[in-house]
C-alpha cells in the first residue's frame, strides 16, 4: 500500500480475529517502532508481546486489576474484563521507559513512545492486519506493570490489539484540516 494512502485511510479495527501477526510480522512492527523519533537517543521504549497462548493469563491480570479497584465488582463485569484479552490473537503492551530527572523532559520521552506505538499500528496495517490501541485503568495499575515486567518508573502507553480485521472499522467522523490549522500572520 502506498504510504500516503495508508496514512489517509488508517482507522482502528472494531473486531479482530485469527490469524494474528506471526513472529516475522511482529519483527517488522517492532522495527518500525524503533524508528520513532527519539530526542537524546534515550530509546524510551519497551514492548511486551502477549502471544495467543498467554491471553487467558493476561485476562486474569485485567480481572484482578478490576477486582482490586472495585472489590464489589460483580462476576459478569469481571468476566467481561477477562474477556478483553480475547479480542485479538496477539496483544503488544507498549511502555515508555522514562529516564526520570533527565535533561530530555519526560513529556518528550512519552511522545517518542507514542510515536513508536503509531508506527506499530501503521506497520500492522501495512502487513494486512487490523489494530486497536487501548489503555483503560489497568494501564495505570502498578501491579499490572509489575506482572508484565515493566519497571515502576515506566508508563504503559498502550495495549495494542492485533489481528485480522473483520468488517469495517470504527465509524469516526474525520475532521478537516481547516478546523485545526492556522497560519501565523507574524
Ligand atoms: C493513548 C490512547 C489510549 C486509548 N485508549 C482507548 C481505550 O482504552 N478504549 C477505547 O475505546 N479507545 C481508546 N483509544 C482510542 C482508539 O484507539 C481510537 O483511536 C479511537 O477509537 C478512534 O478511532 P480511529 O483510530 O479509527 O480514529 C485510545 C487512544 C489513544 C491514543
pLDDT in tens, 13-56: 999 999 999 999 999 999 999 999 999 999 999 999 999 999 99
Q: Which residues line ligand 1 (CB under 6 A)?
A: 11-12, 132-136, 158, 169-170, 172
Q: Is residue 6 part of a domain?
A: no
Name the closest-CA residue to atom 5, ligand 1.
Answer: 134
The number of domains in the chain is 1
Return the ligand 1 atom nearest residue 12 CA. 26
Distances (CA, A) of 12 to 20, 114, 140, 145, 156: 15, 16, 22, 25, 19
7 within domain boundaries: no
CATH code of the domain covering residue 165? 3.40.109.10
Q: Using alpha carbons, select from 146, 172, 176, 169 the residue that is nearest to residue 15.
A: 169
Pocket perturbation via mutation, ligand 1, pick of 81, 117, 119, 135 by most ligand atoms within 8 A of CB = 135
Within-domain flag for 3: no
Asked if residue 154 belongs to a domain, the reply is yes
Range of the domain at 129: 13-179
Q: What is the pTM of this model?
A: 0.97
Residue 184 in domain = no
Q: Tell me: the pLDDT tens digits for 72-83?
A: 999 999 999 999
Per the domain annotation, does 8 fall within a domain? no
Amino acid at each position: 500500500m502506498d504510504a500516503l494512502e495508508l496514512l489517509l485511510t488508517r482507522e482502528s479495527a472494531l473486531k479482530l480475529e485469527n490469524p494474528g501477526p506471526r513472529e516475522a510480522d511482529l519483527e517488522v512492527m517492532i522495527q518500525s517502532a524503533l524508528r520513532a523519533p527519539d530526542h537524546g537517543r534515550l530509546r524510551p521504549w519497551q514492548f511486551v508481546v502477549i502471544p495467543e497462548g498467554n491471553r487467558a493469563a493476561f485476562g486474569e491480570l485485567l480481572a484482578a486489576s478490576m477486582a482490586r479497584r472495585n472489590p464489589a465488582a460483580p462476576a459478569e463485569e469481571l468476566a467481561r474484563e477477562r474477556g478483553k484479552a480475547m479480542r485479538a490473537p496477539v496483544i503488544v503492551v507498549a511502555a515508555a521507559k522514562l529516564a526520570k530527572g533527565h535533561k530530555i523532559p519526560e513529556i518528550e520521552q512519552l511522545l517518542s513512545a507514542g510515536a513508536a506505538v503509531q508506527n506499530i499500528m501503521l506497520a500492522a496495517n501495512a502487513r494486512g492486519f487490523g489494530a486497536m490501541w487501548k489503555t483503560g485503568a489497568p494501564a495505570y495499575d502498578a501491579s499490572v506493570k509489575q506482572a508484565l515486567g515493566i519497571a515502576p518508573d515506566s508508563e504503559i502507553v498502550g495495549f495494542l490489539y492485533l489481528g485480522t480485521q473483520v468488517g469495517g472499522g470504527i465509524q469516526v467522523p474525520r475532521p478537516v484540516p481547516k478546523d485545526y490549522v492556522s497560519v501565523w500572520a507574524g
